[in-house]
Amino acid sequence: MFTFNPDKLYFFDGAMGTMLQSRGLKLREIPESLNITSPELIKSIHEEYLNAGADFITANTFGANRFKLAKSGYSVQDIITSGLGLVREAAGNNAHAVLDIGPTGRVMAPLGDASFSEVYDAVAEMVTAGKNLCDVILLETFTDLYELKAAILAALENSDLPVFATMSFDESGKTFFGASVDTMTATLEGLGITALGVNCSLGPVQLVPIVERICSLSRIPVMVQPNAGLPVMRDGVSHYDVTASEFAEVSRKFAQFGVSIFGGCCGTTPEHIRHMKAAVMSEGKHTRTINDSRTVICSASKIAEFGKRFAVIGERLNPTGKKLLQKALREGDTDYLLKEAVKQQEQGADVLDLNTGLPDIDEAEVLTRSLIEIQGIVNLPIQIDSSDYKALESGARIYNGKPLLNSVNGKAESLANVLPIAKKYGACVLGLTLDENGIPETAEERFRIARKIVEEAERIGIPRRNILIDCLALTASAQQKLVPETLKAIRMVKQELGVCTVLGLSNISFGLPRRPLVNRTMLIAAICAGLDAAIINPGDTDIKETLCAWNLLTGDEDDMQRYIAYCEEHPALSGANVQAVQKDAQKQDTPANLNSAIMKGLKEEAAEHTRNMLASRKPLEIIEQNIVPALDSVGKDYEAGKVFLPQLIKSAEAAKSAFEVLSSAMSSEGSGKSRGPVILATVYGDVHDIGKNIVRTIFENYNFSVIDLGKDVPPERIVEAVERDNVNVVGLSALMTTTVASMKETITKIRESRPDVKIIVGGAVLTPELAEYAGADYYARDAMEGVRILTGLLE
């Protein structure tokens, strides 16, 4: 078995896919099937890489998972056994055999339909098939951090092999699903893998800033496998233009950053590996020292750092004393939860606490379900709050990112159960200063418990930076004398243990009049004692204002500007006015209209607004004035890199739910004799169907009989339907520049068999010029124009 030596440099091989393409692999062929059908070809590529100096030879198993092989006629075991067998035949014991595992090709819930366990099982199956035949496991080219986490757990839990994990970034430094270098590193480095890094997507030059950043953050070895440049299309095939010596020069830079493991991805050849190895070996091993002792947690796309600026942990997702939330949790009303989560995010929370503990519910199940849904819509990191160890573990496991676990305490049982969960999942953990004897009265005793927690955590391998301590605020009305003890304990923990501190604040004012006044006074006293974060209501105006003023007094020029802007927006008020303004603000806190519900991806909310709007507005007006502009705005943010695919999908779902309401309202309006039929389809390669569905409903509303073939429809199916149903009009939709070509191909094929058929086209990307280019008879800007054209054609 391979054991990583931190003083050495390691070299993987280069591309397999593009090498196969250059040797005649057809685009639609499954590359992994060649392990069985053309073993000599695969073996010869392995041999070339071995001769070029690679110490690791990667088996041709990238896509050998149960989903991708489903219709291939091959089993996972067949492909993996043969793939690793070829590595052994080619390399013998002269190189390490690598089981290569790429993304499953499925999108994980709540964005797609693959569950965490489906992905886990598929990877576990690959690992089990290959673990006795290889030396290391490489998980590569992932763009969804969540899928990679599931894959890593599957690899680590089903083998004892070293696991290397890499993700693909674009030039903005983000993956396709929105993960950043920082969130990737924070999430993966604590999971127990041997190395992490980047591969594919970009050439070596574009990867420089990304690799430099990873090397400044990662406490585990870093691996880099760039493409040989950015692909350039020539004659319908991708070409990679970075030469072997250019590739080697940049690899030298990677070595200077402290990268330990080198290799190549798309477009690289044995020549690239040979040159790279020579350059890197001459550069020698550079040691990295990471001076980063920051306490960070993250979601897939957002980091929260404690100890820098004061952090607000939103307390509203805790059912204690909240009847509506209790009801929502019992009834599985996720929309209520989502609204609360979005609201706190908008109110400025940095982290959300999530507690789903209620008597008689399966807390692990409710907590994981809620976490998955909330993470689908809100990008804030989450503090997973439970006293049920099983729930805490399930939450830490399925969490997308690096969570904060709330909480462990000084009791032996709690330490024994919670700390291993934090260790295994690389999470931060919040320690409460109480033990078998309850909450001590004195600061010294609370400090003793805090130290015990820190020492025990470090003993099992949890770094100090991953531990936060809550010195516990007791109720001032009942235990007034103990308030200074809490403050003193915070000071001691901060100064002597050097860990970040958190406080559940509102308990302090329980039973007292004017609680906000007490809360904010305690808050400032605690911050002065060294408090880094508080679990509070981010919508509490008193706290917000106090923090804004605090930041002004202790922060920089930006804080000054923020304070001034806040005061301009919120002039000081008194008495009844304050209450009126607060009530108003509360009203505005809920997603105010259909557009914002769609933009935030709130399905139920979008449907509800639509139902309400139908009382005074026509369905078509709602489509044109709300749904389309809201989607346009999300589309623009997506294009500008402000939102990522997950949010785009969520917004599309919300738009669909609004449209379903309109669709049933419109279908109850229609009457009269049926006209048509007309075929509708979104063209091949294009999955956008919201617009096409709107067009269908409106056509039907005008009594046209519609044969809806769906989305991503191959031209042959459309031609078949035209002939079978003897249709004279076909309506096609395309939303992307790339699928206009597919529209043209479809129209050509229809015309070949039925030149007389009239074709109407529409979709955001189209213009009258593009419609003409595609060969259509008519271009419809919107659904109503489609109706006018159709009426002319079919009457």
- Least Å distance between CB 791 and ligand B1M? 13
d(CA 739, CA 685): 6
Whether the CB-CB separation of 450 and 431 falls below 8 Å is answered with: yes
d(CA 175, CA 640): 14
Helix 116-130 and helix 76-91: axis angle, to 10°?
A: 40
- The set of residues, in sequence order, having a beta carbon less than 8 Å from that of 132 and lying 6+ positions away, is none
- The set of residues, in sequence order, having a beta carbon less than 8 Å from that of 196 and lying 6+ positions away, is 164, 165, 166, 184, 185, 188, 189, 214, 218, 220, 221, 222, 223
Helix 412-424 and helix 443-459: axis angle, to 10°?
A: 50
- Least Å distance between CB 635 and ligand B1M? 2
Sites of contact with ligand B1M (CB under 6 A): 628, 631-632, 634-635, 638-639, 645, 648-649, 652, 680, 685-692, 694-695, 731-733, 735-738, 760, 762-765, 780, 782-783, 786
DSSP string, 176-236: TTS-BHHHHHHHHTTTT-SEEEEESSS-HHHHHHHHHHHHHH-SS-EEEE--SSS-EEETT
- Least Å distance between CB 145 and ligand B1M? 16
CA atoms within 13 A of residue 138's CA, in its CB half-sphere: 32
Q: Which is nearer to ligand B1M, 102 or 762 (CB)?
A: 762
Q: Which is nearer to ligand B1M, 121 or 170 (CB)?
A: 170
Q: Which is nearer to ligand B1M, 549 or 784 (CB)?
A: 784
Q: Which is nearer to ligand B1M, 153 or 634 (CB)?
A: 634
What are the E-state strand segments in 455-504? 467-470, 500-504
CA 645 from centroid of its chain's CA atoms: 9
- Least Å distance between CB 343 and ligand B1M? 24
- Least Å distance between CB 120 and ligand B1M? 24
Q: Which is nearer to ligand B1M, 307 or 601 (CB)?
A: 601
- Least Å distance between CB 289 and ligand B1M? 38
Of 42, 40, 22, 24, the residue nearest 32 (C-alpha): 42
Residue 7, burial from CB neighbour count under 10 angstroms (0-12, 13-18, 19+): exposed
Number of Cβ atoms within 10 Å of the Cβ of 524: 15
Q: Which is nearer to ligand B1M, 489 or 598 (CB)?
A: 598
- Least Å distance between CB 729 and ligand B1M? 9
CA atoms within 13 A of residue 185's CA, in its CB half-sphere: 26
- Least Å distance between CB 277 and ligand B1M? 35
Asked whether the bond before 359 is cis by omega within 30 degrees of 0, the reply is: no
Helical ranges in 224-333 per DSSP H = 244-257, 270-283, 323-331
C-alpha distances (whole Å) from 178 to each of 119, 174, 241, 440 are 19, 5, 28, 45
Place of tokens 């919040």: 430
- Least Å distance between CB 733 and ligand B1M? 3
d(CA 689, CA 741): 18
- Least Å distance between CB 786 and ligand B1M? 4
DSSP string, 762-788: E-TT--HHHHHHHT-SEE-SSHHHHHH
d(CA 424, CA 438): 28
CA atoms within 13 A of residue 395's CA, in its CB half-sphere: 34
- Least Å distance between CB 109 and ligand B1M? 15
- Least Å distance between CB 150 and ligand B1M? 20
Residue 285, amino acid: K
Q: Which is nearer to ligand B1M, 467 or 631 (CB)?
A: 631
Token pair listed for 770: 């593009």
What are the E-state strand segments in 687-728? 704-708
d(CA 511, CA 505): 14
Q: Which is nearer to ligand B1M, 68 or 424 (CB)?
A: 68
- Least Å distance between CB 86 and ligand B1M? 34
Of 560, 550, 561, the residue nearest 525 (C-alpha): 550
- Least Å distance between CB 688 and ligand B1M? 4
Q: Which is nearer to ligand B1M, 34 or 634 (CB)?
A: 634
Q: Which is nearer to ligand B1M, 178 or 263 (CB)?
A: 178
Cα–Cα–Cα angle for 334, 339, 344, nearest 5°?
A: 130
Of 232, 227, 223, 222, the residue nearest 204 (C-alpha): 227
Q: Which is nearer to ligand B1M, 442 or 767 (CB)?
A: 767
Q: Which is nearer to ligand B1M, 281 or 652 (CB)?
A: 652
- Least Å distance between CB 678 and ligand B1M? 8
Contacts 24+ apart (CB under 8 A), 49-53: 49/13, 49/14, 49/270, 49/273, 50/13, 50/90, 50/91, 50/94, 50/95, 51/270, 52/13, 52/14, 52/270, 52/271, 52/273, 52/274, 52/277, 53/11, 53/273, 53/274, 53/277, 53/278
- Least Å distance between CB 680 and ligand B1M? 6
H or E stretch at 125: helix 116-130
C-alpha distances (whole Å) from 80 to each of 28, 133, 193, 541, 689 are 20, 9, 22, 59, 38
Whether the CB-CB separation of 474 and 442 falls below 8 Å is answered with: no
Q: Which is nearer to ligand B1M, 366 or 606 (CB)?
A: 606
By Cβ distance, which residue is nearest to ligand B1M? 691
- Least Å distance between CB 633 and ligand B1M? 8
For the chain, give the longest Cα–Cα distance. 91
Q: Which is nearer to ligand B1M, 695 or 747 (CB)?
A: 695
Q: Which is nearer to ligand B1M, 572 or 640 (CB)?
A: 640
d(CA 503, CA 483): 12
Q: Which is nearer to ligand B1M, 406 or 733 (CB)?
A: 733
Q: Which is nearer to ligand B1M, 114 or 138 (CB)?
A: 114
The partner residues of 555 in beta bridges, in order of sequence, read none
Q: Which is nearer to ligand B1M, 41 or 765 (CB)?
A: 765
- Least Å distance between CB 738 and ligand B1M? 6
